[in-house]
Amino acid sequence: MFIVHTYPVAVLLCVVTMLCWGSWANTQKLAGKTLRFELFYWDYVIGILLFSLISALTLGSTDSEGRSFAADLHQASSSNITSAFIGGVVFNAANILFSAAIAIAGMAVAFPVGIGLALILGVLINYFEAQKGDPVTLFLGVAFITVAIILNALAYLRKSGGETKVSAKGIIISLIAGLLMSFFYRFIAASMDLQNFVNPAAGKMTPYTAVFIFSVGIFVSNFLFNTILMRKPVDGAPVTYGQYFSNRFPVHLVGVLGGLIWGLGNSLNLIAAGKAGPAISYGLGQGATLVAALWGVFIWKEFAHAKGVKGYLTAMFLLFVAGLGCIIYSGA
């Protein structure tokens, strides 16, 4: 299987993760005119599962290093399979709740509360489980990125004229989503032998097998979580599976593409975690907010007519770059 042996390559893969995690939502925008989010989310989840299988059967089954996917899955212990599966369930619950928080409270609340909490707790949790990297520089980078996310939220508030809906319900859901989002990565990392991908400990899984089981957890849990969301949507009328199947195949392919993009980022991030450490990999991956902001500013022109936001956006970008630089340097 393909294994990363140098820190610079691990950082490069994490940067690709950041690009993928910050870009997949563009497919939701493209499909949004004809496909409600709840229905789009099914295609997105199918894409994630599909990529994990393709990755496992190709990169995870070739070359002479490490265990092949089939052999690795066969020897994996039930506790490690369960851990990766739970990671998928936790991620799916967090992702759906975060989407609901955006619908209820707006991005200006959901991002700094949800993603800010997920970033801080996620790096803390993963660092203390596997201490790789200089903690001072690492957490300084996290602090920079957290402030950048808050500035991003302030820019959205300015854009909306301060009329963004804020409610106690939205804040609570954002906090729950952020809390869950900070834990999902740890469940996957715990199922792998991060110290040795070439000869993993018996019962532990390679990143390719862990990502596949994680993706199965997302897919299976979606039958519960997304069915509830379809029947009790946070915004708009309920939707049915009949509406899902009535949409044209090319529209569904857009959602699947979104899942493939996110899945690529997730796989590369976990492959890099063996060399960079889970805290650094996770922290760099969460720089996806910067990529999403770049798409919003330069491609979707979300701030084209907003006044007084240039300073916030400039400071946000600079702090993001500084924060990402600190995280990378902490593991050098």
CA angle 47, 226, 212 (to 5 degrees): 35
Q: pLDDT tens-digit profile of 122-150?
A: 999 999 988 888 999 999 999 999 999 88
**Average pLDDT across the chain, whole number:** 91
Rounded Cα distance, 101 and 95, in Å? 10
pLDDT at 300: 81
Q: Are 219 and 46 in contact (CB under 8 A)?
A: yes
The residues spanned by each domain of the chain are: 7-330
Q: Are 202 and 193 in contact (CB under 8 A)?
A: no
Average of per-residue pLDDT across 313-332: 93
Q: pLDDT tens-digit profile of 250-275?
A: 999 999 999 999 999 999 999 999 99
Q: pLDDT tens-digit profile of 48-99?
A: 999 999 999 999 998 778 899 999 999 999 999 999 999 999 999 999 998 8
pLDDT at 187: 96
Res. 167 pLDDT band, cuts 50 70 90:
low
Lowest mean pLDDT, pick from 3-12, 25-34, 79-88, 256-265: 25-34
Res. 164 pLDDT band, cuts 50 70 90:
low
Q: Are 258 and 41 in contact (CB under 8 A)?
A: no
pLDDT at 163: 57
pLDDT at 289: 82
- Global pTM exceeds 0.85: yes
Rounded Cα distance, 29 and 40, in Å? 10
Q: Is the pLDDT of residue 106 over 80?
A: no
Q: pLDDT tens-digit profile of 57-71?
A: 999 998 778 899 999
Neighbours of 98 (CB within 10 A): 23
